[in-house]
């Protein structure tokens, strides 16, 4: 991918500031969260819907955490605060709800969860967790791959926790990746996640 180097990649997927602080959350009682086969439905204001399938066999703690935050309504009203065409879109920061764009990308749920790196490659449509340089620093921020990970970005595989994939709505992901953005890759107009809900698999 022309014009994007490793520095941009790291900026896109790291979480400075308060996301690095907070207590580690354990993985106890996760099996009951994974007992139900559910998909996630993400409704994006004015753009459509993205449906997600989770990988509890690959990253049970991350799936449980995403489901827990979803049930709490944590993601409702947040935005995709960083978009990079032909690479990925990133969201899940509660600070993206406020009127200060300068703090976007620095927030989280107040805790972090242990890494669950696995063998799933970062291909188009993959759902993975953003984190700081600390491997065990993921909290709420996630990213969706717009394209297969380019050769210069293969360091994503095995170093960021893949926990799901898009099973419908990739055209919406592509629309998000194509919105006008500033030099920091933040959309000029907010791309709002109206709601995220869990639905049983029919």
- Domain spans, the chain: 6-20+30-200
Does residue 106 surpass a pLDDT of 50?
yes
Residue 102's pLDDT is 85
Nearest to 12 by CA among 170, 155, 191, 165: 155
Does residue 5 surpass a pLDDT of 80?
no
67's enclosing H/E stretch is helix 60-71
Q: Report pLDDT digits (tens) over 122-154.
A: 999 999 999 999 999 999 999 999 998 766 656
Does residue 20 surpass a pLDDT of 50?
no
Average pLDDT over residues 170-183: 97
Percent of the chain with pLDDT over 70: 80
Note the Cα 48 to chain centre separation in Å: 18
CATH number for region 6-20+30-200 = 2.40.100.10
Q: In degrees rounded to 5, what are phi and psi of residue 3?
A: 85, -5
- Residues 139, 113 contacting (CB under 8 angstroms): yes
43 vs 85: CA distance, rounded Å: 20
Weakest-pLDDT range from 11-20, 109-118, 130-139: 11-20
Average pLDDT over residues 54-69: 98
Weakest-pLDDT range from 29-33, 55-59, 76-80, 113-117: 29-33
Residues facing residue 144 across a β-bridge: 89, 127
Select, from the ranges 72-76, 102-106, 145-149, the one with the highest average predicted confidence (pLDDT): 72-76
Does residue 184 surpass a pLDDT of 80?
yes
Q: Is the pTM of this model over 0.75?
A: yes
Residue 149's pLDDT is 78
Residue 169's pLDDT is 98
CA distances from 177 to 16, 27, 52, 128, 185 (A): 22, 33, 17, 16, 10
* Mean of all residue pLDDT scores within the chain: 85
Does residue 8 surpass a pLDDT of 90?
no
């Amino acid at each position: 991918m022309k014009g994007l180097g490793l520095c941009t990649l790291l900026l896109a997927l790291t979480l400075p500031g308060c996301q690095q602080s907070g207590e580690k959350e354990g993985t106890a009682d996760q099996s009951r969260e994974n007992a139900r086969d559910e998909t996630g439905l993400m409704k994006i204001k004015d753009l459509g819907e993205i449906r997600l399938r989770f990988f509890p066999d690959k990253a049970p703690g991350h799936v449980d955490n995403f489901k827990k935050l979803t049930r709490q309504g944590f993601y409702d009203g947040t935005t995709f605060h960083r978009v990079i065409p032909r690479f990925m879109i990133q969201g899940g920061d509660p600070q993206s709800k406020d009127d200060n764009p300068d703090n976007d990308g620095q927030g989280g749920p107040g805790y972090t969860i242990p890494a669950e790196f696995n063998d799933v490659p970062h291909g188009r449509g993959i759902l993975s967790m953003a984190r700081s340089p600390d491997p065990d620093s993921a909290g709420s921020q996630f990213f969706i791959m717009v394209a297969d990970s380019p050769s210069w970005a293969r360091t994503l595989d095995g170093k960021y926790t893949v926990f799901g994939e898009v099973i419908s709505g990739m055209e919406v992901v592509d629309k998000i990746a194509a919105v006008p953005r500033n030099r920091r890759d933040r959309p000029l107009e907010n791309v709002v996640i109206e709601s995220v809900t869990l639905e049983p698999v029919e």
